[in-house]
C-alpha cells in the first residue's frame, strides 16, 4: 500500500496494491496494523457505512461535533466521485482550506479524513457505490456541516450548480463564518 499525505496535515490518500490476473483482481482494502503504521495513527474503526447515489448527488459537507467527532476512511466501489475534506481545526495552519480527490472503482484509491474535518462528495458518474469506515458511532444530535457552496471555501465540485442534487437539510448547513462564530 502506498500512503501519501495531502496538503492538509493528517489527510491521506491510500493506494492499495492490486493483484490482477485472468480471473479479475484482488486487493486488501484495509489492514489496521499496516494503516496505523503507515499513517502514524492509532485508529479503531467501529462502523462501516455504504451509500448508493446517482450522478449529481452531493452529500456534505458533514461532520459530528464534540465527543462524537469521526475520522473516516472512504472509498468508491463502483463509479466515480469527487471527494472533499475541509480543515475545521481552529489552530491548524490550513484551517478553512480543502482538498479534493477523485475516487473511483477503477483507481481504487482511498481517502483518510481525520477528526476535525468536514467531509462530502459529489457523484461524477451515472451512479456510485460509496463505502466508508468511521472511528466513532453516528450520533444524530451531534451532526452538523458546512455549506457546500460557501464562497470562502471556493470548492470546484466539477459539476454545474444546476446539476447538483442536494437535500434541503444540506442546503441549510453553516457557512464557514457562522461555524467560526458558533464553535
Which of 98, 119, 132, 148 is labelled catalytic? Answer: 132
Q: Per-residue DSSP letters for 70-132?
A: --EEEEEEESEEEEEEEE--TT-TTTT-EEEEEEETTT--EEEE-TTEEEEEEE-SSEEEEEE
62 carries an active-site annotation = yes
Q: Which of 104, 139, 100 has its CA nearest to residue 117?
A: 100
Output DSSP code: residue 8: S
Give CA–CA dist 84/157, Å, rounded. 9
Residue with cell 485472468: 22
Q: Which of 87, 127, 72 has its CA nearest to residue 104?
A: 127
Residue with cell 452529500: 59
119 carries an active-site annotation = no
User: Which residues are part of the catalytic machinery?
Assistant: 62, 132
Amino acid at each position: 500500500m502506498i500512503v501519501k499525505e495531502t496538503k492538509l496535515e493528517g489527510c491521506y490518500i491510500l493506494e492499495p496494491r492490486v493483484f490482477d490476473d485472468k480471473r479479475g483482481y484482488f486487493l486488501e482494502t484495509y489492514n489496521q496494523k499496516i494503516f496505523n503504521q503507515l499513517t502514524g495513527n492509532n485508529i479503531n474503526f467501529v462502523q462501516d457505512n455504504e451509500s448508493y447515489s446517482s450522478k449529481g448527488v452531493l452529500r456534505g459537507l458533514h461532520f459530528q461535533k464534540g465527543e462524537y467527532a469521526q475520522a473516516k476512511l472512504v472509498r468508491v466501489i463502483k463509479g466515480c466521485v469527487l471527494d472533499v475534506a475541509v480543515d475545521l481545526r481552529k489552530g491548524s495552519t490550513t484551517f478553512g482550506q480543502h482538498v479534493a480527490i477523485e475516487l473511483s472503482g477503477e483507481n481504487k484509491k482511498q481517502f483518510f479524513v481525520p477528526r476535525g474535518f468536514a467531509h462530502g462528495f459529489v457523484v461524477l458518474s451515472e451512479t456510485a457505490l460509496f463505502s466508508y469506515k468511521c472511528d466513532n458511532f453516528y450520533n444524530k444530535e451531534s451532526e452538523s456541516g458546512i455549506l457546500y457552496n460557501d464562497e470562502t471555501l471556493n470548492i470546484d465540485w466539477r459539476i454545474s450548480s444546476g446539476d447538483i442534487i442536494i437535500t434541503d437539510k444540506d442546503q441549510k448547513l453553516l457557512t464557514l463564518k457562522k461555524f467560526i462564530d458558533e464553535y
